[in-house]
Structure 1
């Protein structure tokens, strides 16, 4: 079962398929970010990890 790379919570296969980035990272999930902002949080965390 896939997990969030930020908080290590389990997520569904479908959720991982939609929100995993091109590098295979799942940087946000409903457990560690607001449902309405998962994509934005994911992009922000990806950006911050590159700095």
Structure 2
């Protein structure tokens, strides 16, 4: 089951397909970031 690597919350398989990086890590989810900025927050956290 996929989960957010930042906060540990469960995310759906569909969410992970869209927002995970090429290794399958999900760096942001609706529980720990604003819905409108998930992709940007994920990019920022992946760089860190």
- When normalised by structure 1's length, the TM-score is 0.88
- When normalised by structure 2's length, the TM-score is 0.93
Gaps of 5+ in 1: none
Query: Once the 2 structures are TM-superposed, how far is the Cα of residue 16 of structure 1 from its aligned partner?
Result: 0.6
Runs of 4+ in 1 over 2 A off after TM superposition: none
2: distance between equivalents of 1:42 and 1:11? 14
The equivalent of 1:16 in structure 2 is 16
Gaps of 5+ in 2: none
In the TM superposition, what whole-angstrom CA distance separates every residue of 1:11-36 from its partner, at most 9, and x where no partner exists?
11100110010122110000000000
